[in-house]
Structure 1
Amino acid sequence: MNTINLIGRLTKDPELRYSQGGVAICTFTLAVNRDFTNQNGEREADFIQCKAFKKTAENLANYQQKGSQVGVVGRLQTGSYEKDGQRVYTTDVMVDRIEFLGSKGGQGNQGGHEDPFANNKGPIEVSEDNLPF
């Protein structure tokens, strides 16, 4: 079993790019507070590299920014590559699901992103002819 659940804040704006095949890939770093304090009484954080794909990647890049709090469900994946003749090892969280929990400092909507439900005036009338059952 390889499952990881995290809640943390984005350390910078998510970076969105597309593979040669057109798949959206979003990389971001999540700062996750530890459950304890250090000798100085300060809480430390772990900085965890994450990758999201496809629509999840696009939604994250379009609606979240530095400081936003998110919940991530995913799996750990290790890898390696050569840099300057040295083998570099990596550990990333591959995101399966993400929830947007709050903006920087809990101040609600920020950064000019529109609330997609701002004009929602309640239930929508739907004709029974349009129902698939």
Structure 2
Amino acid sequence: MNFIHIAGNLGADPEVRFTSTGKKVTTLKVATRSRRGKNSEELTIWWRVTVWGEQYDKLISYLKKGSSVMVFGDVHKPEIFTDREGKPQISLDITASHLEFSPFGKPGGSSQENRTTTQPHSAPFGTTPSEEGTANPYAGFPPIGKAGVAQGKGETFDDEVPF
């Protein structure tokens, strides 16, 4: 097996189909960018990623054209074909063994309709956005003011070693 790890953006919404035996197959078209040398042009490489089964259904339901993804999987032998205009093209295929959102882009894609006004990082640490109004991990601790003084207590934090 030849394993590969790519990070790129979806060029189309995921395509879901089923085999004659009822097994689910999802196809992703992922574009990656490459540059050789400082002054060279940016090259876009297209990958056809096949995801078998239902293990990534929840993640795939959030993927749309423009979404950033990372794929780890088995790369197949490249196939060279001639397109409609008579130009040689290459088909690069991966069977995914792991799929996740890429930290290098937004999971919902870059189009305006996919953006939301609520940022995922707006909830306090230790809570999820849905828990934002119900849990506060800082409850019971006084707020910290300037120079490390807990407001209302008059105590300071001393950084010196106690011995």
Normalising by the smaller structure, the TM-score range is: 0.5 to 0.7
**Structure 1 counterpart of 2:57:** 58
Cα gap change, 1:7/1:90 in structure 2, threshold over 3 Å: closer, same or farther? closer
Identify the structure with bigger relative contact order (alpha carbons < 8 Å, sequence gap 6+).
1
Which of 130, 133, 138 is the matching residue for 1:119? 130
**TM-score, scaled relative to structure 1:** 0.65
What pairs with 1:64-79 in structure 2 (closer than 5 Å)? 64-78=63-77
Gaps of 5+ in 2: 80-89, 121-127, 137-163
What pairs with 1:31-50 in structure 2 (closer than 5 Å)? 31-36=31-36, 41-50=40-49
Cα gap change, 1:30/1:56 in structure 2, threshold over 3 Å: closer, same or farther? farther
Residue aligned with 1:63, SS: coil
Residue aligned with 2:61, SS: helix
Which of 110, 121, 138 is the matching residue for 1:105? 110
Gaps of 5+ in 1: 81-88, 124-133
**TM-score, scaled relative to structure 2:** 0.54
Identity, % of aligned pairs?
23
Cα gap change, 1:32/1:79 in structure 2, threshold over 3 Å: closer, same or farther? closer
The structure in which a higher percent of residues are strand is: 1
Q: Which amino acid aligns with 1:119?
A: S
Aligned length: 110
Query: Partners in 2 of 1:74 and 1:97 — Cα distance?
Result: 6
Q: Is the 8 A contact 2:74 2:96 kept in 1?
A: yes
Query: Partners in 1 of 2:44 and 2:25 — Cα distance?
Result: 25
Give deviations 1:51-79, integer Å, cap 9, x for gaps.
00112453354110100000000001349
Task: Name the Cα RMSD after superposition.
Answer: 3.4
**Structure 2 counterpart of 1:10:** 10
